[in-house]
Amino acid sequence: MKNIIIGTAGHIDHGKTTLIKAITGRETDRLKEEQERGISIELGFTYFDLPSGKRAGIIDVPGHEKFIKNMLAGVTGIDIVVLVIAADEGIMPQTKEHLDILNLLKIEKGIIAITKAELVDDDWLELVKEDVKERVKGTFLENSPIIPVSSINKTGIDELISTIDKFTEEIEERDDKDTPRLPVDRVFTISGFGTVVTGTLISGKLTIGDEIQIFPGNNTGRIRSIQVHGKDSDFGYGGQRVAVNLAGLKKTDIKRGDIIAPIDSMEPTMMLDVKLKLIEDSQRIIENRTRVRLYIGSSEILCRVVLLDKEQLTPGETCYAQLRLEESIVAKRGDRFIIRFYSPMITIGGGEILEPNPPKRKRFDENAIKELELKEKGSITDIIEEIIKDKSRDFPSIKDISVITVMPEDKVQEEVEHLEKDSKVMTFRLLKDIHVIHEDHFDKLSNMIKNDLEKFHEKHSLKVGMSKEEIRSKYLKNIKPKLGDSFINKLEEKGIVKIINESISLRDFEVRFTKTQEAIKEKIEDIYLENKFTLVKKEDILSSIKYDKKDILQVYDALIEIGTLTKIKEDIVIHSKMYKEGKEKVINFIKENGSITIAQLRDLLNTNRKLAVSLIENLDEQKITKRMGDNRVLY
Total number of domains in the chain? 5
Residue 537 makes CB contacts below 8 A (sequence gap 6+) with: 571
The CATH number assigned to the domain holding 24 equals: 3.40.50.300
Are both 81 and 94 inside the same structural domain? yes
pLDDT < 70 stretches in the chain: 1, 26-44, 61-76
Q: Is the peptide bond before 344 cis (omega within 30 degrees of 0)?
A: yes
pLDDT value at position 34?
Answer: 30
Taking only Cα atoms into account, the Rg of the chain, rounded to an integer number of angstroms, comes to 36
Are both 531 and 501 inside the same structural domain? no
In a domain, residue 107? The reply is yes
- 3 state DSSP class of 212: strand
- 3 state DSSP class of 384: helix
Last residue within a domain, chosen from 320, 338, 371: 371
Write phi, then psi, for 47 (nearest 5 degrees): -155, 165
CA distance linking residue 301 with residue 288, whole number of Å:
18
Q: How many CB atoms lie within 10 A of CB 237?
A: 20
CA distance linking residue 198 with residue 207, whole number of Å:
15
pLDDT value at position 75?
Answer: 64
Q: Which domain holds residue 616?
A: 517-634
In a domain, residue 174? The reply is no
Last residue within a domain, chosen from 352, 371, 390: 371
In a domain, residue 596? The reply is yes
Q: Which of 406, 49, 416, 412 is nearest to 204 (CA)?
A: 406
pLDDT value at position 38?
Answer: 35
Element (H, E) at 33: helix 32-37
Q: Which of 596, 606, 607 is nearest to 630 (CA)?
A: 596
CA distance linking residue 144 with residue 478, whole number of Å:
55
CA distance linking residue 545 with residue 554, whole number of Å:
13
Query: Which amino acid, one-letter code, is at 57?
Result: G
CA distance linking residue 333 with residue 374, whole number of Å:
13
- 3 state DSSP class of 131: helix
Are both 498 and 443 inside the same structural domain? yes
The CATH number assigned to the domain holding 527 equals: 1.10.10.10
Torsion of CA 610, 611, 615, 618, to 10 degrees: 60
Q: Which of 554, 589, 591, 597 is nearest to 459 (CA)?
A: 554
CA distance linking residue 136 with residue 542, whole number of Å:
96
The CATH number assigned to the domain holding 363 equals: 2.40.30.10
Are both 142 and 10 inside the same structural domain? yes
CA distance linking residue 386 with residue 383, whole number of Å:
5
Q: Which of 70, 74, 69 is nearest to 46 (CA)?
A: 74
- 3 state DSSP class of 611: helix
CA distance linking residue 518 with residue 527, whole number of Å:
14
Whole-number Cα distances in Å, 37 to 12, 31, 41, 58, 362: 12, 10, 10, 22, 51
- Give per-residue burial for 128-143: e unless 16+ CB within 10 Å, then b: bbeebeebbeeebbee
Last residue within a domain, chosen from 227, 262, 297: 262
Are both 557 and 504 inside the same structural domain? no
Are both 151 and 10 inside the same structural domain? yes
Whole-number Cα distances in Å, 15 to 46, 128, 286: 16, 16, 35
CA distance linking residue 322 with residue 147, whole number of Å:
41
Residue 391 makes CB contacts below 8 A (sequence gap 6+) with: 400, 401, 404
CA distance linking residue 99 with residue 42, whole number of Å:
19
- Residue 361 DSSP label: P
pLDDT value at position 37?
Answer: 35
CA distance linking residue 8 with residue 78, whole number of Å:
9
Are both 251 and 313 inside the same structural domain? no
In a domain, residue 175? The reply is no
Q: Which of 82, 138, 106, 141 is nearest to 338 (CA)?
A: 106
Q: Which of 103, 84, 67, 115 is nearest to 7 (CA)?
A: 84
Q: How many CB atoms lie within 10 A of CB 379?
A: 10
pLDDT value at position 14?
Answer: 83
Are both 75 and 125 inside the same structural domain? yes
Are both 13 and 142 inside the same structural domain? yes
In a domain, residue 310? The reply is yes
Query: Which amino acid, one-letter code, is at 469?
Result: E
Distance of CA 331 to the CA centre of its chain: 10
- 3 state DSSP class of 372: helix
Are both 240 and 383 inside the same structural domain? no
Element (H, E) at 249: none
- Residue 296 DSSP label: E
Distance of CA 195 to the CA centre of its chain: 29
Are both 527 and 500 inside the same structural domain? no
CA distance linking residue 4 with residue 165, whole number of Å:
10
pLDDT value at position 44?
Answer: 67
Do the strands 4-10 and 80-86 form a parallel or antiparallel pair, or are they unpaired? parallel
In a domain, residue 177? The reply is no
Are both 249 and 324 inside the same structural domain? no
In a domain, residue 190? The reply is yes
- Residues 34-86 have pLDDT tens digits of 333 333 323 567 888 899 988 888 887 654 444 455 556 556 678 899 999 99
Q: Is residue 269 within 8 Å of 357, Cβ to Cβ? A: yes
In a domain, residue 225? The reply is yes
Count Cα atoms within 13 angstroms, Cβ side, for 370.
Answer: 4
Residues composing the chain: 635
CA distance linking residue 60 with residue 43, whole number of Å:
6
CA distance linking residue 575 with residue 541, whole number of Å:
13
Q: Is residue 296 within 8 Å of 274, Cβ to Cβ? A: no
Q: Which of 247, 261, 151, 280 is nearest to 206 (CA)?
A: 261
pLDDT value at position 388?
Answer: 96
